[in-house]
A = this chain, B = another copy of it.
Amino acid sequence: MTDSENIDRYFQAMADPYRRGFIERLSKVPASVKELAAPADVQLPAVLKHLQVLEQGGIVISDKIGRVRTYRMRPDAFSAMNNWIEQRQREMNVAFDRLAAVMAEVPEEKDH
């Protein structure tokens, strides 16, 4: 799998309100599948599928102790996305500065 495909999976994992809800909960505290499924108005198989998408997207990890599988955030869950965004933001800032410099050199229109 290429980096690009990994990033696709990553953003794809984010593009769902249930999955973002799980991220919001797991950012605060790890939780078992049962705990995660409890308040959701979706069935357990759908919950498991969402968790699988988050795990494949590199956002969460799970451990199984006995019969209980617990999910938690990967400590580096947002690193790749942050890096990508920061790079774009830097380029945008350079482009805006250049535009501002060009605008500053345009002679002002005279009223008469």
Chain A residues with CB under 8 Å of chain B are 4, 7-8, 10-12, 14-17, 20, 23-24, 27-29, 73, 75, 77-78, 81-82, 84-85, 88-89, 91-92, 94-96
Contacts and interface: CB of A to CB of B under 8 A. Distances in A.
A23 B88 CA distance: 8
Nearest to A94: B28
A95 B29 CA distance: 6
Contacts of A23: 88
A82 B78 CA distance: 10
A16 B27 contact: no
Nearest to A89: B78
Contacts of A16: 8
